[in-house]
């Protein structure tokens, strides 16, 4: 197999006899068998049941304003969306749909990478170009359009999300962000032209970790999950072996501010670990990994993949890729995978 072609590993596949050894982590044979012990809290499910019930109790109105003309698009319709997230606070999203198609369409709910927001709709045209609807969800405090009001004045930050509120699961930043992401799935049925029975959750890096969280928390409302080079998985291993990126925020925090709170810190993170969400997710899953990724070491990705509860799970391996993964080669792989599972638009 050409190294320019991704290797696909399913739960029952065999690895190639000759595989490149990555610079940053194990080789493929070791990764395929990497199944670390789970440290899931006893009250994990109750914590998230209570968290989501509280968020939903606030209610709130979903708003969608057609803004296509502002961006000069001729083949795509764009709505500027606001929906209620954590504490009922408004979360921004873009809804993109092929123009002239009434639907209901399968929808790819997309979550964003670390320190990135939803950006502009012109940055997200692939899925509408091939006939899907896409809901691009802003990240509170990271994007320009969704402030993290819990932190006070709603100012956007560039870094530091990994340790914000890490003193307890109740205060931790990712409790709020992951709740927003589940609420995005909740509101699909209230948005125009979408099929609530064909929801695909997806994202890269932080977005991949968020997609895994939603797949574990939203249950059978998710028809498929596509986490690319997912972050937020196997935190301790990420902190110990990453060479760059947000896991280093944990290292600095524990080195300088909390040397005697290592165990309590990782006990908080256990409520937000993609490995634990993966154990509760059953939708068909298409992961991807870059074997030379210094930001999300392959072991952290395979920890979630090998713990994934669903029987239909596939790994796309980019042997010489860093954290960029398959770049522009990855969306066609995803499209083919979705079509094989009957999750394609009826145009």
Catalytic status, residue 205: yes
Choose the catalytic residue: 9, 124, 234, 323.
323
Choose the catalytic residue: 128, 139, 205, 242.
205
Choose the catalytic residue: 138, 195, 273, 293.
293
User: What is the three-state SS of the chain?
Assistant: CCCCCCEEEECCCCCCCCCCCCCCCCCHHHHHCCCCCCCCCCCHHHHHHHHHHHHHHCCCCCEEEECHHHHCCCCEEEEEEEEECHHHCEEEEEEEEECCCCCCEEEEEEECCCCCCCCCHHHCCHHHHCCCEEEEECCCCCCCCCCCHHHCCCCCCCCCCCCCCCCCCCCCHHHHHHHHHHHHHHCHHHCCCEEEEEEEEEEECHHHHHHHHHHHHHHHHCCEEEEECCCCCCHHHHHHHCCCCCHHHHHHHHHHCCCCCHHHHHHHHHHHCHHHHHCCCCCCEEEEEECCCCCCCHHHHHHHHHHCCCCCEEEEEECCCCCCCCHHHHHHHHHHHHHHCCCCCCC
Catalytic status, residue 293: yes
**Catalytic residue numbers?**
205, 293, 323
């Amino acid at each position: 197999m050409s190294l320019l072609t991704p290797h696909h590993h399913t739960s029952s596949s065999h690895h190639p006899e000759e595989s490149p050894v990555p610079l940053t982590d194990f080789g493929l044979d070791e990764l395929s068998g990497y199944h670390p012990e789970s440290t899931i809290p006893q009250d994990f499910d109750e914590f998230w049941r209570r968290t989501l019930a509280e968020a939903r109790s606030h209610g709130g109105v979903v708003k969608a304003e057609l803004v296509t003309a502002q961006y000069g698009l001729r083949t795509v319709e764009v709505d500027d969306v606001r929906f209620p997230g954590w504490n009922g606070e408004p979360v921004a999203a873009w809804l993109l749909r092929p123009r002239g198609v009434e639907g209901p369409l399968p929808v790819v709910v997309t979550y964003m990478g670390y320190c990135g927001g939803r950006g502009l709709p012109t940055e997200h045209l692939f899925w509408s170009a091939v006939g899907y609807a896409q809901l691009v969800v802003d990240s509170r405090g990271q994007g320009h359009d969704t402030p993290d009001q819990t932190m006070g004045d709603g100012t956007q930050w560039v870094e530091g999300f990994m340790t914000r509120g890490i003193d307890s699961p109740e205060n931790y930043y990712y409790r709020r962000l992951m709740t927003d992401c589940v609420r995005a799935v909740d509101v699909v049925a209230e948005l125009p032209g979408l099929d609530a029975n064909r929801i695909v959750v997806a994202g890269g890096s932080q977005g991949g970790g968020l997609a895994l969280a939603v797949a574990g928390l939203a249950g059978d409302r998710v028809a498929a999950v596509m986490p690319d080079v997912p972050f937020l998985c196997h935190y301790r291993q990420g902190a110990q072996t990453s060479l760059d990126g947000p896991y280093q925020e944990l290292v600095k925090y524990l080195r300088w501010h909390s040397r005697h709170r290592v165990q309590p810190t990782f006990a908080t993170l256990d409520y937000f670990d993609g490995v634990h969400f993966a154990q509760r997710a059953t939708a068909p899953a298409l992961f991807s990994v870059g074997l030379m990724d210094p930001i999300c070491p392959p072991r952290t990705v395979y920890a979630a993949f090998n713990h994934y509860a669903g029987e239909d799970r596939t790994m796309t391996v980019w042997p010489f890729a860093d954290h960029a993964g398959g770049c522009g080669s990855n969306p066609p792989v995803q499209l083919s995978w979705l079509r094989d599972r009957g999750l394609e638009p009826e145009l």
